[in-house]
Chain A
Amino acid sequence: NAGVTQTPKFQVLKTGQSMTLQCAQDMNHEYMSWYRQDPGMGLRLIHYSVGAGITDQGEVPNGYNVSRSTTEDFPLRLLSAAPSQTSVYFCASRAEGRAVKETQYFGPGTRLLVL
């Protein structure tokens, strides 16, 4: 298994540009989520999905859109990038359900700089 993969690894955008951060997992996990991490801070939840066709907002959703058309993919869209969105973005997935051993697996991150 490749686990959770993210592309690109690095991206530089100009203010107002749009882009999509890709996230894919091959573990057949129902739950996927996007976090952002600013320097010296913990991770903050942007959006999450509990299955294909179902998404919901996290702690800091403004400026981001998501969709979940398949179990494997959970792209994050920035419609009009702003310098405040400069951050490291992590995608994560885990199995959903009531079993205790549901650990969350994180991707390697995408480093985004908005000028």
Chain B
Amino acid sequence: DAKTTQPTSMDCAEGRAANLPCNHSTISGNEYVYWYRQIHSQGPQYIIHGLKNNETNEMASLIITEDRKSSTLILPHATLRDTAVYYCIVRSNTGTASKLTFGTGTRLQVTL
């Protein structure tokens, strides 16, 4: 699975959009981009994933560049409860043993 690079930490004011970048320059054609978050001391929580098209769900939007070498997770209206570590992961969805490889993620701090 391709490696990812994320900033160590980011701050965002409550009510504003939080844009979390991720670089995955070695991503291969069959690898998806996944985003998970981990709120303090809890198990990671799935947010969104995509292959090449932009995706949106009730939690967030995922913007993937045309060359697929980077992506951005967008929380449109961040709240204090969005304070967490956000993990960008790329993995193949083929095969019976496709695994998630977690990096150190981005620690997002949402402030008043």
Contact with B along A71-110 (1 / 0, CB 8 A): 0000000000000000010101000101010111111110
Q: How far is the CA of A103 from the CA of B59 in the complex (A)?
A: 14
Least Cβ distance of A22 to chain B in Å? 15
B43 touches A108 (CB 8 A): yes
Instruction: Report the contact-size class of chain B (Cβ under 8 Å from the partner).
Output: 20 to 34
Is A56's beta carbon under 8 Å from chain B? yes
Q: Which residues of A contact B51 (CB under 8 A)?
A: 100
Q: How far is the CA of A35 from the CA of B44 in the complex (A)?
A: 11
Q: How far is the CA of A42 from the CA of B51 in the complex (A)?
A: 23
Q: Which DSSP category, helix, strand, loop or mixed, fits chain B's interface?
A: loop
Contact with A along B5-45 (1 / 0, CB 8 A): 00000000000000000000000000010001000011111
Q: Which residues of B contact A96 (CB under 8 A)?
A: 96
B87 touches A90 (CB 8 A): no
Q: How far is the CA of A58 from the CA of B97 in the complex (A)?
A: 10
Q: A98-B93, A106-B44 are contacts. A44–B99 as well, Cβ < 8 Å?
A: no
Is A50's beta carbon under 8 Å from chain B? yes
Instruction: Report the contact-size class of chain A (Cβ under 8 Å from the partner).
Output: 20 to 34
Q: A42-B105, A106-B43 are contacts. A48–B99 as well, Cβ < 8 Å?
A: yes
Least Cβ distance of A43 to chain B in Å? 4
B45 touches A106 (CB 8 A): yes
Pick the residue among A41, A92, A100, A109 that contacts B104 (CB under 8 A): A41
B97 touches A90 (CB 8 A): no
A45 touches B44 (CB 8 A): no
3 cross-chain pairs, A with B, having the tightest CB-CB distances, nearest first: A106-B43, A42-B102, A103-B46
Selected A-B contacts with CB under 8 Å, 15 pairs: A42-B105, A43-B100, A45-B99, A45-B100, A45-B101, A48-B99, A59-B101, A92-B43, A92-B44, A100-B93, A103-B46, A104-B36, A104-B100, A106-B43, A107-B43
On A, residues with C-beta under 8 Å from B are 4, 33, 35, 40-45, 48, 50, 56, 58-59, 88, 90, 92, 96, 98, 100, 102-109
